[in-house]
Every structure is written in structure tokens, then in C-alpha cells.
Structure 1
Amino acid sequence: MSLWPNARLPDLSGQTAVITGANSGIGYYAALEFARAGADVILACRSVERGKAALAGIEVQARGRARLELLDLADLESVRAFAARIAARQEAIDILLNNAGVMAPPTRQTTAQGFELQLGVNFLGHFLLTALLMEKLRKTRATRIIQVSSIAHRQGRMAWEDLQSERQYRAWNAYRQSKLAMLIFALELGRRAEAAGLKALSLAAHPGIAATELVRNGPGRNSLIGVLQNLAAPLIQQPGDAGAWPLILAGIDPAARQGAYYGPQGWLECRGLPGAAKAEPKALDKDAGQRLWDAAEQLTGTAFRLYP
């Protein structure tokens, strides 16, 4: 893998990065580069087999600066167990990259707690994880909490009266909603951290359209949108490692400010060098931020406190 032209990561020795979905795609590439820069990386993965394969690759290329921890975001009990293990072993966390995701299952599926799968995995699992790790995230002035959104958030809509898609399930609508929720969450967390005087930066990033397994082999690949996307791939897609660039930049940008959003700088933010991305007004809506926060606390059964 190579970084973008003239990019150079700072020395991350002594820092700890937790990355969900780090066994493949943009999560793996981000984990590899953070480990190469000296960070101790925790690969939070659902699959033991795939997690071990990713760990082996990083150990070879980054001299063993990684370890595997099992995490199933489709089960809040797994999230709680993972957070408890990390809290017991880590004094502080410098980077939390909430990257793992599910894209457009053709039929409605649910998590262990009965949530619609995409809302549950992409957003609710990460909301709970961030809440449970907040004590460790407060321990360093340079903490960065990064939510991975998508250009799909532009067409997303929060179906407040049917967040779980119980009345009507449309795969891509549910996906867009989950990614809009991730961006709203990042911005609301940033506002709350700033109001509380915390130094932690809440950021967001998106990969554009990256040629990863999530896109190539996703359940939605045979839908009309999936077929059209595959036909247009040569024009709009970029390699999977390039899709990780905005995530990496969010993790190391010395000019980062609270609530910053990163993405590719090319046509429609589909591909290109990483830089500032555009968040739609609906993601910036403070009322939506409050409403989503309240809904997530209720659904996860957890009060998200920035202080004990």
C-alpha cells in the first residue's frame, strides 16, 4: 500500500488505535498504516478466521504492532464484553475508528436484540461502543473518535417513526439512513464534547466509492443500484487502499477541528486525494442530533455520559 502523494504519517509510537472491521477493506488498510507509523492497533473483528489472517498480514508488514479482539456489532452483549476487555487492559485510547459496516441486505435482517441490521451494526453498535469506551477516550488530550459515514448520506433520511424499517424495508434506504446517522452522531458528539470542555475530537470520514469486498460482494450487488454501480466502476471507483486515505487523514491531520468531515476530493467525492468533505444540512441539524442521541440511548439502554 502507498499513501497519497507527499503524505507522511507522524510517529504514533505509544498510541493505541481501536479499529472496528479491521479484517478487510478500508479498515484493514487504515490499521496497517497506523501500525506502520508505530501505533499499537487493536483489530476489532467479528470473524476469528478473517481477523487472524488480517493480523498475520499486519504483523509481517508492521512488525507485530497489532492484536486481535473479537467484536460482533450485531450483538450489544458482544459490544459490552469487548469494551470491558479493552477497558481492563488499556490505560487510554488515542484513536477510535468506528469503521465496520453492513451494506444493503436484500431482505430485512435483525441483530441479536432485534434491531434492523444496518441501523444496529452501522450505528447503534458503534454508539454503544463509543459510550462504553468514553472513560478511556478521555485519558489523552489528543483523542480522536472517527465515525465512517458515506456519500450515501446525501440521499439518506431519518425515518423517525420507523427507524427499524418495520413498516417498509428498502435495502438502500436503510443503508443511507444508517450512514446519515453516523454523520449526525459524529457532529452531535463533537458539539457535546466542546460544550463539556473535552479535548477529544469527534470527526467523520467517508471512503468515496472504494473497490472493497463490501462493495464488490455486498448483498446489494444484484440490485439495480448495485448493477449500475458495477458498470460505472471504472469511472467512479478507486482502489480499496485509497478509500482508507480519508480515514487515515482524520486520524493524523494536525489541522483537524471539532466536527471535521473528510473524504475524496475528486468528482462528487467518489475518488481522489483526501481532504474536507461536504456534510448535507440534514446532518448538521442540531435538533436531529439531539433526537438521534435520545433514540440511541433508549434503544441501547445506555446513557452516554461524557463524564462519569
Structure 2
Amino acid sequence: MAAYRQSKLANLMFAFELDRRLRAVRSRVMSVAAHPGVANTNLFRADHFAASPMVRSALGGLIDTLFNSDQTGALSTLYAATAADVVDGGYYGPLGLFETRGEVVGPANVASQARNRTDAMRLWQVCESLTGTATG
């Protein structure tokens, strides 16, 4: 789960860095990000998440009851892609129960680490180096 959280932070940092770069060249393209809250996706059904299929099944039912189904979890992405009030560099998610659930979507809270421009630029440069796509 630590690696999962770190990957989500990197995704957000990358989206914000892309937005800064698009604004710098006055592009009309938008970079926005979204999160599903807690949704009952195959992440909770994966073998490494729980010890037994019975535990995973029970946990999946609990997630569906208390949080989002996989369909409801997709609403944030749909909102970010289509809503008229989405802004450049925005981050969107469900607004219910500490941003973990709900069909109402809006601006999400951003972890302070995601706003670190130095780290975001470094992440971008590492990605360019690893993929051989430097924009220099």
C-alpha cells in the first residue's frame, strides 16, 4: 500500500507539472487530475491485499456498503473530463465522508507534497530520462 500511495502522489505531481508546462507555452490543453475515493475495484480483490478469498470477499462487500462501487468511483474521472467548471491544474474527487465516497464530485484536497515544484520537476526529468523523451 505504501508503493500504491507513492504512485498516486507521483501521478498528481506529474499532472500539476504538466499543467505548469502547458501554461508556460500558453497551450489551450488542460491537465487535470481525479481520484475515485475508496472504490471496490479489483485492487481489493488482488491476492496480495488480503490473506484469503473469503476475507477479500467480505472486505469487498464492506467497501461496497460503506464506500463507492467501481462505477461510482469512476464519476470523478468523468467529472474531470467533462464538467464545465473544471479548471487548469484542478484535482477532483468525491465530496462525501472525507473524500472517500459519494456521487457528488468537486475540488479535492491536495497533499502538500504534491505541490512541491522542485520534486515535480525532478520527477518529470527522471521520466524523460527513463523513456528517452527529453523535451529539453
Bin for the TM-score computed over the shorter chain: 0.7 to 0.9
From 42, 47, 59, give the equivalent of 1:219: 47
CA distance in 1, matches of 2:47, 2:121: 32
CA shift for structure 1 position 218: 1.8
Of the three residues 197, 204, 207, the one matched with 2:36 is 207
Q: Which residue of 2 aligns with 1:86?
A: none
Asked if the contact 2:39/2:64 (under 8 Å) is kept, the reply is no
Give the aligned residue type for 1:302.
T
Verify: 1:298 aligned to 2:129, yes or no: yes
Within 5 A, what are the aligned runs for 1:165-184?
Answer: 172-184=1-13
Q: Could you say what secondary structure the match of 1:210 adopts?
A: coil
Q: 1:255: Cα distance to partner?
A: 1.6
> Superposition pairs for residues 129-168 of structure 1, below 5 Å?
none
Rounded to whole Å, the distance in 2 between the matches of 1:236 and 1:190 is 34
**Please, which runs of 5 or more residues in structure 2 have no aligned partner?**
none
What amino acid does structure 2 have at the position aligned with 1:276? Answer: P
> What's the CA shift for 1:235?
5.5
- Alignment partner, residue 50 of structure 1: none
Q: Separation in 2 of the partners of 1:177 and 1:190? A: 20
**Aligned-partner Cα distance in 2 for 1:304–1:255:** 31
1:195 aligned partner, one-letter code: A
State the structure with bigger RCO (CA 8 A, min sep 6), 1 or 2. 2
The 8 Å contact of residues 37 and 73 in structure 2, kept in 1 or not, is answered as yes
- Tell me, what secondary structure is at the counterpart of 1:241? helix
The residue correspondences of 1:56-135 to structure 2 (distance < 5 A) are none
What CA distance in whole angstroms lies between the structure 2 residues aligned with 1:236 and 1:221? 18
Indicate the SS of the match to 2:43: helix
User: Could you give the per-residue CA deviations for residues 114-156 of structure 1, whole angstroms, max 9, x where no partner exists?
Assistant: xxxxxxxxxxxxxxxxxxxxxxxxxxxxxxxxxxxxxxxxxxx
1:255 matched to 2:92? no
**Counterparts of 1:268 and 1:219 in 2: how far apart (Å)?**
27
Q: 1:270, 1:183 → 2: CA distance? A: 17
Q: Secondary structure at the match of 1:212?
A: coil
Question: Contact 1:205–1:262 at 8 Å: present in 2 too?
Answer: yes
SS of structure 2 residue aligned to 1:230: helix
Higher Cα Rg: structure 1 or 2?
Answer: 1
How many residue pairs get aligned? The number is: 130
Q: 1:278 aligns to what? A: 109
Distance 1:264 1:218 in 2: 24
Give the alignment's TM-score, normalised by structure 2.
Answer: 0.85
Distance 1:222 1:261 in 2: 30
Residues 209 and 243 in structure 1, CA contact (< 8 A), matched pair in contact too: yes
What residue in structure 2 maps to residue 237 of structure 1? 67
Return the offset for 1:296: 0.7
CA RMSD of aligned residues (A): 2.1
> Residue deviations 1:215-273, cap 9 Å, x none?
2x1233216xx97x928525532111110111000011112111100101011211012
